[in-house]
Chain A
């Protein structure tokens, strides 16, 4: 039983924060350790450990809900690390609209969406920045994330949406009938709009 739970936990963790993100971030930190200021390095190490801590704490999905503010705090740390990995390129636009509310959502839900977009999106030299918009309305939270898609050319990318399936089952659990996940998936663009009535 215990082992089984551990495996589920680990799978869950991998779905939300994938090893690719971890190893590429570590590569970035090693480079910073050699070529950059200590402050920048310390800052990014802090960001990364906070994200990992957050993922581990809530990795088993049993901890209930967190405030949107907490989720956004960690999402912003994730964005900062991504920005450092691609210096000189704008890899995302990030906007928060409306007055912040203390709505509760499943931990890692927004992060999963963004991570997914980074993994499958073409944000580089020839791509377009990720567009992330968080909108607070009365009794409504909207989260939209739009990315330009990479050309699909390997198996790894075919298996997109594994993290998203997981997210959907968690949302079903907490917000059955009170949420929508609208996805527009064309050849070039992946546009996801998550609407939650908390």
Chain B
């Protein structure tokens, strides 16, 4: 079970650097990152991260403003290019202050402090690595390991769960309740009839997804496109 992190910084470059540092440390999970301070506040509310890395000098809402809005047990690490801000920040209780550009070894000192904190979502609360699926009327339930689940397809009143090694399980339920069941960040509805495991994607092109393994092709529905783009944005290395 990892420490959930959210990053808020109005400069994309700084966000990229912090994201890659967070992702490189086992035990930290990048739950969200945004250049939009308003979205950031929402993210903190929705995700209840253990730690938020917060830029101070942003328009609309400064990092200090956001820090004052945080009600939960989320700990704050301020990131700033202004050394003077470190002083102001003492009005708000912070776990650490990082000066930009942030060197990796300095970041690791912050990580040590994070690991000494109590997690907001303790382990055991979050054993979401498998689900049971009812497969016939005689109350037979089959176990589906989530890391093997590739995609889910709507079939009338049923959905089909496709796992690696061509295992397919049919169950009587709706896509909506499947979505709710799969709490993991890895699953995403991309079409009226499809939910995919993001980790199983091989490539994305012209509004469709090709999965690893058997190379199954899945269309991205018009209504799901924006959200999909948003979800994969952090992983995108866009051409200059």
Contact = CB atoms under 8 A, between A and B. Distances in A.
A153 B92 CA distance: 14
Interface in A81-108: 85-88
Interface stretch (A20-28, A135-143, A175-183): A20-28
Interface size class of A (residues with CB under 8 A): 20 to 34
The interface centre, meaning the residue of A27, A85, A153 with most chain B CB atoms within 10 A of its CB, is A27
Contacts of A173: none
A86 B11 contact: yes
Interface in A4-26: 19-20, 23-24, 26
A125 B59 CA distance: 9
Interface in A70-84: none
Given A23-B100, A86-B12, A36 B240 contact: yes
Interface residues of B, number: 30
Interface stretch (B78-86, B117-125, B161-169, B209-217): B78-86
Contacts of B17: 27, 30-31, 34
Contact of B60 (A24, A28, A35, A122): A122
Nearest to B62: A153
A19 B80 CA distance: 11
Contact of B84 (A26, A123, A156): A156
B12 A123 contact: no
A197 B144 CA distance: 79
Contacts of B56: 154
Given A123-B59, A151-B60, A27 B84 contact: no
Nearest to B64: A154
A23 B58 contact: no
A126 B59 contact: yes
A27 B240 contact: no
A42 interface: no
B79 to A, nearest CB: 10
A87 to B, nearest CB: 6
Contacts of A85: 11-13
A5 B138 CA distance: 90
Given A23-B101, A27-B17, A34-B17, 6 more contacts: A31-B17, A34-B16, A88-B12, A125-B36, A125-B59, A125-B60
Interface of B: 10-14, 16-17, 20, 35-36, 38, 56-60, 62, 64-65, 81-85, 88, 99-101, 237, 240
